[in-house]
Structure 1
Amino acid sequence: MTLTTVVEPSSPVEALPEILTRVVAELHDVAYLIERIEPQLLELGGGAALLNSPESMKVMQGIDLAVQKTRGLAEFIDNITNEISHDWTVDVATALSLVKLSEMQRALRGSIHPAHSQPLAKAAGDFDFF
């Protein structure tokens, strides 16, 4: 009789503070991207037209609030991360498999350095298929 041992691939267990630091970087990136929407809306709709409409003003305030909340979450996570022991580890395999954007998945995995997902130097008219 022969026994076969199935060896499962090692799971990506990482220190929790390192993972949270990458989440903070992604949240700052999200805030940056949201913040870039406001000037574009003002340019497209004309500043006066947008600012004179109560509904448009609510949208602009919502954009500002989204940026503030995103940055607030990033700062909150960043501050509690400093209190977490590097001995605390988690397996992020399932969580990473649920992230649909491949660039974000790579950033959260730590395989790329944090960078803005849409740099300002990107030429107008360029776009990515997804």
Structure 2
Amino acid sequence: MTDIHSQPSASMDEKLPEVLMRIVSELYDVAYLIERVEPQLLEVGGAAILHAPDSMKVLQGIDLAVQKTRGLAEFIDTITGTIPDEWEVDVSTALSLVKLADMHKALTKGMRHGHSQPLSKAAGDFDFF
């Protein structure tokens, strides 16, 4: 995770539907990343994890987080289709608050290609922050 420190820049007016679709893409990425946790917990905890009530609550919480994240993405995606393309918003302040460089890049105009998170990193890779 790379941290960015940017100053609020000049006004960056962008089409609202485009901005929302970049957010949708990020939400789907988040759901995918959360979903990848569950099998790892089962691998680490073994079959016994399925018999512990507290562990089951955690696994159910992971499932719920994935469902809610995807639900928010679908909701935003659906309402975005009803927003006139001429509507614009200034994203400069909002972007200055996004501290993860990869997410900042993904939310910046014209950068919505693939996942914002590096999904192909080798095991053991990490970023200092």
Range of TM-score over shorter length:
0.7 to 0.9
1:5 corresponds in structure 2 to none
1:25-104 correspondence to structure 2 within 5 Å: 25-46=25-46, 48-104=47-103
Displacement of 1:111 after TM fit? 4.7
Q: Which runs of 5+ in 2 are unaligned?
A: 1-8
* CA distances 1:63-95 after superposition (whole Å, capped 9, x unpaired): 000000000000000000000001100000111
Q: 2-side partners of 1:84 and 1:44: how far apart?
A: 46
Residue type of the partner of 2:57?
K
2:3 corresponds in structure 1 to none
Alignment check: 8 A CA contact 1:26 1:114 kept: no
Q: Give runs of ≥4 in structure 1 deviating > 6 Å.
A: none
Q: 2-side partners of 1:118 and 1:26: how far apart?
A: 12
Q: Give TM-score scaled by structure 2 length.
A: 0.87
Percent identity between matched residues is: 67
Q: Which runs of 5+ in 1 are unaligned?
A: 1-8
Which one has more relative contact order, counting CA pairs under 8 Å at least 6 apart? 2
Q: 1-side partners of 2:110 and 2:13: how far apart?
A: 14
Cα 1:71–1:96 shift into 2, 3 Å: same
Residue type of the partner of 1:83?
T
Number of residues of Structure 1 aligned to a counterpart in Structure 2: 120
Q: 1-side partners of 2:118 and 2:49: how far apart?
A: 25
2:5 corresponds in structure 1 to none
User: SS of 1:90's equivalent?
Assistant: strand
Q: 2-side partners of 1:110 and 1:49: how far apart?
A: 47
* CA distances 1:10-59 after superposition (whole Å, capped 9, x unpaired): 4110000000000000000000000000000001111x221110000000
Q: Give TM-score scaled by structure 1 length.
A: 0.87
1:4 corresponds in structure 2 to none
